Amino acid sequence: MSLERKYIIKLNALECGILIGFLWRHKNDPSVKVLKHVFSQLVEHDRKMKEEAGVKIEKIFEGKRTLLKMTDRDGNVVWREPYEWENY
């Protein structure tokens, strides 16, 4: 019987975002599919970081286009299209 070892890696917000994007872009590659659980953890961590930063997210429908309006607790606003894995 082998024990599953768990490792902790340290990433900043930018590195998390880059890794999420890389894993999503290559999701059909067999060598990347084994990292599906890592992707899920990164997405969950991303949501927690936004929550801790007080980011409020609104989904705005503009014709056939959907935008996210993200406002932090300081009033800074970012508008962008949602990434495919974001389901707010």
Cβ neighbourhood burial of 23 (10 Å; 0-12, 13-18, 19+): buried
Same domain, yes or no, for 14 and 42? Answer: yes
Same domain, yes or no, for 39 and 66? Answer: no
Measured CA to CA, the distance from residue 10 to residue 84 in angstroms comes to 25
Measured CA to CA, the distance from residue 4 to residue 2 in angstroms comes to 7
pLDDT of residue 84: 86
| Domain range enclosing 47 | 10-52
Whether 62 is in a domain gets the answer yes
Whether 2 is in a domain gets the answer no
pLDDT tens string 5-40: 888 999 988 999 899 999 999 989 998 889 999 999
Same domain, yes or no, for 14 and 48? Answer: yes
Q: What is the DSSP letter of 80?
A: E
Query: b or e along 36-52 (b: 16 or more beta carbons within 10 Å of the residue's beta carbon)?
Result: eeebeebbeebeeebee
Whether 4 is in a domain gets the answer no
pLDDT tens string 41-55: 999 988 998 999 899
Based on the structure, what is the number of domains in the chain? 2
